[in-house]
Each structure stands twice: as structure tokens, then as C-alpha cells.
Amino acid sequence: MVPITINGRRVEAEEGSSLLEACENAGVFIPKLCYHPALESVGTCRLCLVDVKGMGKLQPSCMTKVASGLEVVTENPEILEAIRANLRLLRSRHPNDCMTCEVNGRCQFQDLLYRYQIEDKYDKMSRIERKEELDLSSPSLVRDMDKCVLCGRCVRVCASIQGMNILAMVNRGSVEIPETVFELPLNSTQCINCGQCATVCPVGAIIEKPHIHDVVDALKHKDDRIIIASTAPAVRVAISEEFGLAPGSISTGHMVAALRKCGFDKVFDTNFTADLTTVEEANEFIARVKTGGPFPMFTSCCPAWINMVEKLYPELIPNISSCRSPQAMMGSLVKTFYAKKIGVAPEKIVLTSIMPCTAKKDEIQREQLAGDTDYVLTTRELAKLFRLNDVNFSSLEESDFDSPLGLSTGAAAIFGATGGVMESALRTAYETITGKDLPSVDLNAVRGLEGIRDAVVDVDGLKVKVAIANGGANVRKLIEKVLAKEADYHFIEIMECRGGCVGGGGEPKSMDKDILPKRIGGIYKIDHDMKMRKAHQNPAIKEIYEEFLEKPNSHIAHDLLHTHYHS
Ligand code: HC0
Ligand code: SF4
């Protein structure tokens, strides 16, 4: 730490860190659009300008490093005028449809316009006509480049974190925008629908394909239909942030209560089918061990990963577990097992899945799975649904999930964090293979936030080599090693988003650089505090096998819980 002066106040700051971070750590507001804590700084939006003594003209604070003795001013008439001029310019190319924009009230640009009083009541330049075509081609995302503020965050996240390079800045000046190669509609590119571009977008230029309007409509006009929600492991933690709770807070009971308040007739838990996935996947792995492969076996629950394999690495299709994702298992069980149980035609059930992920919107439209899950709301859309329904989130009385598809173990909870699917599968595979209790339920070797991790797990003499990758660029690095035969893993967990599902493309937008460890902390706490922490111990899972599915990997389990892939 070194001493610097910010607006005449002496503070300690980390040498070599950015002035922007130093100011924020000192509680001094800095406007910004291109800066994002998860991405490399580029200093292009020219909003984070500061005056540094001895440096001449105004400096972008995101690109200026802290050095001992720096004297920084963040507010003076010159800085204010420069910021306002830059905002006015961006405002002049922005449409006037805030009142109907999907991110109204959650827009970093709108906040800055208010803060700096960029009023345009009499601005002749303000415009409403469309310049760029709306790209609705993707099942997961909407691109509205008229709303782009040129921050370039989408381009950087797609290239450096996801390793995909789907978007690039094209043109210059008033027509500059992030564009796909050959200006193809997003769905005709190799985009994997991970939605990382949408989570970093400060405005509404890239958003999830909204399903909220259909869900609101279904809840309003139920007729004789049963409206069901099912919630993913990661949502119960991240939803807290949307209602002012500390990141990492666990809101399971409040979330279920809020869903009931919105009018859902039943609230099921995707964690139940995460336990079911574990049992099916562990048994599939054991069968591969007995028959000699193919190895490595890859997990199959991340739909952006499935997109990546089908589009870029089709030769790996035989290596992917045939298990449907927990979302897809829930879809098929609700429309078969549950419909039969309550004596209702499957068409009379509307199932909405609540996910931290945009690619899950794509997954439900896969022809192998179509018709099971009707809608997918992201965590962001869920928060909006709660706000629309005047839900007073934290003061609701907590509620439990409904049975029979609502009971789960700690092993399901950790699906929401990178390494969790692997840890859960290993807990079950170990006990299924050895018939013995695991020496320690916490398999710390597979936890963490590093992009690629590996471990050797001793299953009673059998050395199982496992690896975990999170974040598309890391995934691609690991896959290249596997394809080059430089790695001989037996089992690999892949999550395309950093941190796993807690960092999904549908999660609340956050400018907290420690957001992933905070959310992951909440996820492991759920597991730690549960009595049942192994999927195969879940009595509701045992019951559904006895009543309906017979046994793991049975014929009916294959029909309803497994799938296939194609390039
Ligand atoms: Fe995930 Fe899932 S854990 S992909 O990371 O397997 O989205 O949260 O819902 O389906 O359960 C996301 C999260 C899920 C699924 C589960 C898996
Ligand atoms: Fe890139 Fe993912 Fe956005 Fe597609 S969804 S453009 S792969 S960041």
C-alpha cells in the first residue's frame, strides 16, 4: 500500500492497481461504462476521467496506475464538462424508449444520464427511429444495437473470458457498433448462447430473450391449467442481490414464498432432478468403467457446453454423458410422472424453469426435449416478476418446495458452483462402487475458482483422474489438450461460465469483483448445513425409482432422463 491524495484526502492504495479502483475503495464515485471488474480495462468510454497533478490533460482512471504520492482530483468543472460532453454524444445516438425497455431502472447508462443531468427535453438530436436491425434470431438473446453505448464489454468478455470471438467492433464514429462476423444473425454464428455478453452489457443492447411476458400472461389467464415453477441451484443465492441483501445470502424460503405470491400453483426444485442426474450419471460412469469407456466422460448439464461441442468439437459427442440436464429431467418428469400422478393431461401443465442461464432458453427448444419445459426465466427476469407483483421479498414468510419433486440433498445444491457436479457424482460413485461410506464428504480437491483444475480420486484402489474447467476460454484450452491426447482423464466437468452456474449469463449484473466467491460461499453453505449430502440418500429419489423409474439407467430412465446430440 502507498499513500495517495484523492480530492485533498490522504488514503492508502495498492501500488499498481488502477486509480479507478483506488477511488472506489475510498468511497469516491467514478462514472464508467467500458470498465468492468472481470475484464481488462481499455479506457475507451472516456467517462472515468480524473485530474492527476503533473500529468497534463485529464486521465482515464481505469488506465492510470496508483503510485506513491499521486494527487488526484475527481471533480472539477473541467472534468464535469468532459463527462457531460461524452454522455451527451452517446445520448444523441440512443433511442428514446426507456419506458418500454426491458432493462428500464436497471441501466447503468440511464443512471449516469440522471446523475449528470443530461436532459434532452428540448434536444433536437434525440431520436426514436430505428437504425440497426433488431436481431431476434437467437433462442436465448436479443441484440438491439441501437441501444449500444460502445463500451465493448460484450466483445471483450466473448473473446477473452469465453474464447469465442463472436463479436467485434466495426466501423468508426457515429456508426460504430459491435457486430458479428459478416453481420450474420447471432443464431447463424458459432455463438453458444452463454449470455456472458448480456451480463456485462451496461444497457439493454444485449439481453436474454424475454419469456417473462408469456409467464405473466400464463399466471394471469390460468384457465384450467396448472402453473408450475422449478428453481435452479444457483438462483436461490443470487436472487438475494436483487433485493438489497448481501451477495452470497441464501434466500431459498423467501424465493419459494415469492413464487407462490406471484400465483404459481406448485413450486418444484430443480435440485431434486440434480440429485437424479447424479444417480444416473454416476451409474453411467460406473458402466463406462466396466466396459472401458469412452473416456473421458464429460458432464452434460451445461447447455452452452453442449452447443460448443455440437458446433466446434463434434468428434467429442460420444464422450458426453447421455444424461439430460436437471432442467430437462424436471421437464420430462413433470409432463409424464407428475401429470399422471395428479390425473391431468400434460398440455394442461405450464412449466417455467427459473435459471441463472440464458442457454437454458435454447435447451428447452432442442427437438429432443421440446414440449417439456414451457418457459425459462433468468434470475434477472425472476426479480422483475417479483417486482411486478409487489413482492416484499425479505419480509415474506418462508415457504418450502412442494412434493414429490421438491426434496434434495446438499449434493444438489453444489451443482450451482464449478466443481459441484463432479463432487456430487464422486460422492455417489464412490459409495456405489465400494459399498462403503466416504471418508470425507467434502472433496476439497475439486473445489476452487481456478479455470482448470484436476485431481486423482482414490476409489478403493481405483485411481479416477478428474478435471474441471469453467469459463469458455479455459474449456477450450482443456479440450485442445484432450484432443491432442496430452491428457488422460476419466471424467471431466465443464461449465461454460466462470464460477459455474453462479456466474451464469442470466444472473444479476454485478460490478463487485468478488461476486463469484461470495455466491459460491452461499452455495457451499447450503450443502454444509444439510443433513443429507449425498444424492443417492435422497428418499424422494429412492421413491421415484420404486414408483416409476425402476432403477438407474433402466429402459424407462433412458427414455425420459437421457438424450442424444448431433452436430
Ligand atoms: Fe445449473 Fe443445472 S446446476 S446447469 O449449473 O446440472 O443453469 O444453477 O439449473 O439443468 O440442477 C444452470 C444452476 C442448473 C441444470 C441443475 C445442472
Ligand atoms: Fe459470445 Fe456467449 Fe455472447 Fe454468444 S452468448 S456472443 S458466445 S458471450
- Cell, residue 349: 401443465
DSSP sequence for 188-230: GTT-----HHHHH-SSSSEEE---HHHHHHHHH--TT-EEEEE
Question: How close is the Cα of 158 to the center of ligand 2, in Å?
Answer: 5
Beta-carbon contacts of 367 under 8 Å, excluding residues fewer than 6 positions away, are none
Is the C-beta atom of 18 inside 6 A of ligand 1?
no
Query: Quick one: angle between helices 472-483 and 303-312, nearest 10?
Result: 50
**What is d(CA 500, CA 356) in angstroms, rounded to the nearest whole number?**
10
- Between the CA of 519 and the centroid of ligand 2 the distance, in Å, is 22
* Backbone region of residue 195 per phi and psi (left: phi > 0; alpha: psi in -120 to 50; beta: other values): left
Determine contact, residues 479/505, Cβ cutoff 8 Å: no
What pLDDT is attached to residue 175?
73
Question: Ligand 2 centre from 161 Cα, in Å?
Answer: 10
The closest residue, in CA terms, to atom 5 on ligand 1 is: 501
The 3-state secondary structure of 390-456 reads CCCHHHCCCCCCCCCCCCCCHHHHHHHCCCHHHHHHHHHHHHHHHCCCCCCCCCHHHCCCCCEEEEE
Cα–Cα distance, 390 to 204 (Å, whole number): 23
Q: What is the pTM of this model?
A: 0.97
- What residues are in contact with ligand 2 under a 6 Å CB criterion? 141, 157-158, 162, 164, 166-167, 191-197
Quote the ligand 1 centre to 273 CA distance (angstroms).
Answer: 10
Write the CA distances from 148 to 38, 106, 134, 160, integer angstroms: 20, 15, 12, 20
Q: Distance from CA of residue 199 to its chain's centroid?
A: 8
- Please tell me the total number of residues recorded for the chain in this structure: 567
Listed residue (156, 137, 139, 132) closest to 205, CA to CA:
132
By CB atoms closer than 10 A (0-12, 13-18, 19+), residue 370 is exposed
Give the separation between CA 362 and CA 65, rounded to whole angstroms.
42
The strand pairing partners of 268, in sequence order, are 230
Question: CB neighbours of 47 closer than 8 A, spacing ≥ 6?
Answer: 31, 32, 33, 34, 83, 86, 87, 112
Angle between helix 252-262 and 235-242 (nearest 10): 70
Across the chain, which has 567 residues, the per-10-residue mean pLDDT values are: 98 97 98 98 97 96 98 98 95 90 97 90 60 94 96 98 96 83 96 98 98 98 97 98 98 98 98 98 96 97 98 98 98 98 98 98 97 98 98 97 98 98 96 92 91 94 95 98 97 98 98 98 98 97 98 98 96
* E strand residue ranges, 93-239: 141-143, 167-170, 177-180, 206-208, 226-231
Minimum CA distance residue for ligand 2 atom 1: 158
Closest CA to 348 of 224, 257, 522: 224
Q: How far apart are CA 524 and CA 398, in angstroms?
A: 21
Ligand with smallest separation from the Cα of 364: 1
Q: How buried is residue 81: exposed, middle or buried, by Cβ count under 10 Å (0-12/13-18/19+)? A: exposed
| Residue 553 CA to ligand 1 centre (angstroms) | 20
Which of the listed residues 230, 237, 327, 363 should we mutate to test ligand 1's pocket, taking the one with most ligand atoms within 8 A of CB? 327
Q: Within 10 A of 120 (CB to CB), how many other CB atoms are there?
A: 14
Q: How far apart are CA 226 and CA 402, in angstroms?
A: 14
Question: What pLDDT, on a 0 to 100 scale, did the predictor assign at position 92?
Answer: 87
**Ligand 1 atom at minimum distance from 360 CA:** 7
Long-range contacts: 434-441, Cβ < 8 Å, 24+? Answer: 434/459, 434/460, 436/460, 438/534, 441/410, 441/533, 441/534
In terms of C-beta density within 10 A (0-12 exposed, 13-18 middle, 19 or more buried), how is residue 163 classed? middle
C-alpha distances (whole Å) from 132 to each of 45, 143, 166, 197, 238 are 21, 10, 18, 18, 33
For residue 398, the tally of other CB atoms under 10 A from its CB is 11
Type of residue found at 247: P
Helical spans, DSSP H, in 292-403 = 303-312, 326-333, 339-342, 359-363, 379-388
Q: How far apart are CA 520 and CA 511, in angstroms?
A: 16
Helix axes 379-388, 212-220, angle to 10 degrees: 40
